[in-house]
Structures are given as C-alpha cells and as structure tokens.
C-alpha cells in the first residue's frame, strides 16, 4: 500500500478493466426510469459486488452462530470468520496488531466512542480540540456534546475559497491547550484531500492526539496507520463496497487500553459481580453485546475485492474520471463547481445557475442518474460557501465515462426544463 499522501497520476494504461468490474455489481445493470443506471452517489454509500453479497449469503446459510460463546462447530467457525475479518482489516490499514481494530456500527459510532471514552478520560474543562471547517456533522456534533458536558473548547481550522486546507492557519490554532485534533482525510463535499500526515506531525509536536475521519479517505486514498502515526482512524464498511452496519475504529493499543468502556454489556467483561466489574482489553472492551458478525465477514470480502484491484489503481482511475468530468462539466453554461482544491478525490459538488439541487436530483433521476442533493451533513461548510445545498456527483471504482456523459446530458435536460 502507498502512503496516504501520495499523489496519484491519472491511469492512462488499459489495464484497468472497468467493464469487468461493473459486471460484478448487480445494481449497475439495473434500468432506472428507462435509462441505464448512472450511479454517481458512491460517496453516500457504494454499491456491493457479487463477491460481498455471496460471501455474506454463505456466512448466513452455513457458517452462522453467535461468536465468542458456544463450544460447538458453527460457533467456532463464526468466531474464526469474525476474528479473521479483524485481521484482514488490520492488514489493510497496516495496523500493528488486530487488537487495535474495534468493530463499530459506522464512523459516527466510532467518533462517538472516542468522544465519550477518550474524551471523558483525557480531556477536561479548558482543553481545546481542533476540527476543520470541512467536517461532516459526525465529526462536529459529538465534540459539541462533549463540550456541553465537560467544558472543552472547539477551534475550527479554515479552508480557502477553493477548498484547500490552510496548514498555516491550522498551525496557528495549535497551542499547549490543544489536546486533540479531529479532522477528515477527504472532504465529503469538496473532495479536498487533506495533508493529514503533516497535520499529525504538527499536532504531535504539541503533544496533541489526532483522530482522522477516514469515511471518504479510506476509499479514495487508503491508509497506512503506522506510516501516518495518527492516534485514531475511523472508517465505515458501506462506502468501501461492504455492508451497512459495520465500521472500524483503529486506535493505538496502549491508548485504547487506557480508555474506559463506552458501552457496558456482554463480551467486554473479565469478571462481573454486583459490587465490581473488571473489563477486558481492546478490542473486546469496546465491543459490548453481539457484534455485526456477518457484516464483518462482508467487510473482509469487500477489502479483499478492492485489494485485488489495488487502491492505487482505483485512485488513478478516479483521477482520470475527475479530469474527464471537469472538462465535460465545464461545457455546461451556468455550472459552478464548489471545491477546486489542488489535490482532490473523485467528488464534485456543483451548482447549476440558481436551480435548487433537489430539483436537479429529481429531474436527472428521470434520466437514470443518481446524485446526492442537499447539505451533505456539512451545514457549516455550506454556510462557508454561502449556499444552502449543492448537487454532488461522487465516483466509485466502477464509475465510467458513460456515467459522466449521461450526467452531462441530464443536466442539459434540467436546463431545458427550467428554460
């Protein structure tokens, strides 16, 4: 795997067989309102390949029982599958050990876990945390809840008009009171790729911990957590071509083992009496109750799938699509792209004159094109650019030039209707 900040060149080779990849995804061959399905909303949630669907089907049909409990064949098999999935994730992120991988419900749950457990143990009134102006609500609201509970301060690192992260301004916010930097790797609205390795270095110089929201980043950039050297990294399965209901919180093991449990229940205890309960180490400490067993198996299958294609190849494919889409969209009069950072992932937010994004979304759906419309759970960023909502096209490993051509035709149809 490449380092997280590597700049990838557009793939001009013919080795990336997008037609073969598309054949793996049943949803892409659907006809939508009489048109081919141009699915350009992978940034919200990606479609699933047969390899994931079939693996999960098999796990439910012939490998299913609860984990970590029964002394019988299927329970052992399910436990092995679940723990092997943890190892697959660890290898994918280059974690030191699978014990650093905590399965959560999604990124939101992972960040809330850190806010509750780490936040209440390591932070206190007057401490400062830094987030960026680009954060998804999932990396804003948990910190506001913590602020209201214990009195920390939240500082916001700005972006420029093009959507570039302003490293100098971020550096100015760092001070001895800074205890945590919680920041996205890739903006879900602007597509901006944040130089997170530099963020980590500067934060560590001030002895602050760093949490990376990798919801978009893991898909477009991947991560090598040892090279990056952050303290927490969160991502979710469903944007990585895996199932919903499973996410990952990676944390440095010694830090995780200093954190108190977030939720109490079965599977996370060493010993329980009514007087005193002792807890297991990570990851079990943070996985109370029956976990998402088959979802973990599905996530591992998704990771195997993208690993075979190769994250570097996928990123290069997306970069070539991004360049193609920028050229094509530039032909549409009145279309403005919000977010033109120097280093961008395959995410394009745009406005079309004064036509509201929901009208765009409804009308282009009639032409088989799926995009996200709205505030993208990033209202402060919308306010930053003075817009209420944008339309957003986001690419996946299966996206192709036809999807973009279809989008451009559909946007011209929107203009035709609005006259």
Partner 1 sequence: MEDDIRELYQEVILDHGKNPRNFRHPEDATCEANGNNPLCGDRLTVFVKVGEDESIEDAAFEGRGCAISVASASMMTDIVRGKKVVEVDALFDTFHKMCMGEEIGETPAEFEDDLDKLMVLSGVKQFPMRVKCATLAWHTMNAAVHGDSAASTE
Three-class SS of 176-207: CCEEEEEEECECCCCCEECCHHHHHHHHHHCC
Residue closer to partner 1 by CB (options 234, 373) is 373
Can the peptide bond before residue 283 be classed as cis, meaning omega within 30 degrees of 0?
yes
- CA distances 103 to 293, 307, 353, Å, are 10, 20, 43
Nearer to partner 1, 43 or 214 (CB): 43
Would you say 38 or 225 has its CB closer to partner 1?
38
Q: Choose the stretch contacting partner 1; rule: CB under 8 A; options: 218-226, 257-265, 340-348, 350-358.
A: 350-358
Nearer to partner 1, 7 or 388 (CB): 388
35 vs 64, beta carbon nearer partner 1: 35
Phi, psi dihedral angles at 2 (to 5 degrees): -85, 160
Is 417 a residue that touches partner 1 (CB under 8 A)? yes
Chain positions 353 to 412 lying near partner 1, rule: CB under 8 A, are: 355-359, 362-363, 366-367, 373-375, 379, 382, 388-389
Q: Would you call 373 a catalytic residue per the annotation?
A: no
Which residues are registered as beta bridge partners of 234? 213, 249
Active-site option among 377, 408, 412, 413: 377
* Number of CB atoms found within 10 A of residue 171's CB: 15
# residues near partner 1 by CB under 8 A: 21
Between helix 401-418 and helix 357-365 the angle, nearest 10°, is: 110
Nearest Cα to Cα of residue 241 among 4, 56, 110: 56
Q: Binding marks (x or -) toward partner 1, 17..56, rule CB under 8 A?
A: ----------------xx----------------------
As measured in angstroms, the least distance from the Cβ of 165 to partner 1 is 24
Residue 334 interacts with partner 1 (CB under 8 A)?
no
3-state SS class at 363: helix
Exposed/middle/buried for residue 207 (C-beta within 10 Å: 0-12, 13-18, 19+)? exposed
Q: Minimum distance from CB of 100 to partner 1 (Å)?
A: 36
Work out the angle between the directed axes of helices 293-309 and 73-93 (0-180°, nearest 10).
Answer: 40
Q: For the chain, how many residues are written?
A: 419
Q: Which stretch binds partner 1 (CB under 8 A): 54-62, 120-128, 293-301, 352-360?
A: 352-360
Catalytic residues: 377
Contact residues toward partner 1 (CB under 8 A) are 33-34, 355-359, 362-363, 366-367, 373-375, 379, 382, 388-389, 417-419
């Amino acid at each position: 795997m490449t380092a997280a900040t590597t700049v990838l060149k557009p793939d001009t080779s013919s080795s990336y067989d997008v037609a073969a990849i598309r054949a793996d995804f049943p949803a892409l061959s659907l006809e939508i309102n009489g048109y081919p399905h141009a699915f350009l909303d992978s940034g919200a949630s990606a479609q699933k390949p047969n390899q994931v669907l079939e693996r999960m089907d098999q796990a439910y049909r012939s490998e299913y029982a609860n984990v970590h409990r029964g002394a019988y064949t299927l329970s052992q098999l399910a436990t092995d599958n679940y723990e092997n999935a943890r190892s697959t994730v660890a290898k994918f992120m280059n974690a030191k050990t699978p014990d650093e991988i905590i399965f959560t419900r999604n990124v939101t749950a992972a960040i809330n876990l850190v806010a509750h457990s780490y936040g209440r143990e390591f932070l206190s009134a007057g401490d400062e945390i830094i987030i960026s102006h680009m954060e998804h609500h999932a990396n804003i609201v948990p910190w506001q809840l913590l602020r209201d509970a214990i009195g920390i301060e939240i500082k916001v690192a700005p972006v420029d008009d093009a959507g570039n992260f302003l490293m100098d301004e971020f550096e100015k916010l760092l001070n001895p009171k800074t205890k945590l930097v919680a920041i996205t790797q890739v903006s879900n609205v602007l597509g901006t790729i944040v130089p997170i390795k530099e963020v980590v270095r500067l934060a560590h110089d001030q002895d602050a911990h760093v949490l990376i929201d990798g919801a978009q980043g893991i898909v477009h950039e991947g991560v090598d957590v040892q090279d990056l050297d952050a303290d927490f990294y969160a991502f979710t399965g469903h944007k990585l071509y895996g199932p919903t209901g499973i996410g990952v919180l990676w944390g440095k093991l010694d830090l995780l083992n200093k954190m108190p449990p977030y939720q109490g229940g079965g599977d996370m205890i060493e010993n329980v009496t009514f007087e005193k309960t002792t807890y297991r180490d990570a990851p079990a400490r943070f996985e109370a109750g029956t976990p998402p067993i088959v979802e973990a198996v599905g996530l591992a299958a998704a990771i195997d799938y993208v690993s075979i294609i190769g994250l570097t190849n996928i990123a290069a494919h997306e970069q070539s699509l991004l360049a193609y889409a920028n050229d094509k969209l530039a032909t549409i009069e009145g279309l403005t792209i919000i977010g033109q950072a120097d280093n961008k992932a395959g995410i394009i937010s745009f406005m079309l004159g004064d036509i509201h994004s929901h009208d765009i979304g409804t009308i282009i759906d009639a032409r088989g094109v799926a995009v996200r419309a709205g505030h993208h759970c990033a209202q402060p960023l919308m306010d930053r650019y003075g817009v209420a909502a944008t339309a957003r096209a986001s690419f996946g490993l299966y996206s192709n030039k036809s999807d973009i051509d279809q989008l451009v035709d559909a946007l011209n149809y929107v203009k035709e209707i609005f006259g």
